[in-house]
Structure 1
């Protein structure tokens, strides 16, 4: 493996984060903190406990997952789209670096940013609501897997997009609504049987459910199933990325 090339790309992407610190880190943390204040304190005080968990604490895993998904996609999509936009992607493709190393560098940087953001939001949550993490190792596993999976998904979007507006199309119109409807603010057991069945087709349900289990030992879906669905989506993203580089989809023209 060409470690120098991977490190150079990774370092460049991380440096971009430091230059846009307000947008990359501060803004998502402030936005999530407002959710803690509005839903956790104002509305949560009027809602009964869910499965024995205070509402403010119950929504913490869902809010972290919401930020993690959107930021992973955004970071990875912009990271690979910008070289396409300015034309430096062709220099990268002609350099002595494999496609695998390119993916590792861009996706690794995007996932690192998202993991750092997720941990900062988690630390911030302790300032607003009392909570515990029953299974910290599982929590970190879901955090890392989700960051890398959706960074790969964002990488695919960045390759597919042919304009800056398309970079936000999928996150805003698909990912964010799926996250809100994926049990971030409620338990799917509270839904009528028909809508609970429909909700199980939402992949975000498994992410939020597994992540919440790591905090409180309770979930809407079995944690093994949640982990399996996460790994399946990761495998699907890897297969699509492999196909993109094998065929040169939107890279060779």
Structure 2
């Protein structure tokens, strides 16, 4: 009971800080996510046994030149393409290799195009407005979709899960849990659409229902893949959690693994939607 209480309190505090920073200003939002990125990067470097000050410099440069002050949209598009390919190769390694080679020769590739780029696209999503206006509602909605997927997958999997999803990597994940997470995320997408429609939070740029349904599917599928990839990283490293910063939850990488992996695909989808519309 005490463990559940600690886990709940730390989770509520974590969510409250993130949402507060998102709705305060773009500077507070960028500052918070830069701090989250530093901590997550630190946990990841320890996980893959890499000591590198260069990684932190690349993170800071990426935040300034590709997110806060975008010096070239083409550079962002190139980063999006490379990050998507690296993430898909990580999926391939999870499904068909016994040991992910990023522990050998690909450490910097995953540091840049998986961890760092994941945070960069998270900070770029709220400024995808055609006028460059900061709209935190969209990134809050993405986080709500991620949290809905995690929550429903846990509840359905724990109570009804019988068929293992990928037992050799994550023994607790089940097919029923995945389906439950997807259903919960679809429900959350519908509720988000209705809420934004009712209160017109996006002014004239209210995404139609099909966008939120598709976004829910993207978040659920790629978020689950991101969680599986991190589970395999931890299994190879021989650790249970990536860190201890969040009591009852582990490290920040444990909490953000899903959205870090999914963010380039979310950004790509919204980019297509914005250009088509």
Q: TM-score normalised to the size of structure 2?
A: 0.37
**TM-score (normalised: structure 1):** 0.39
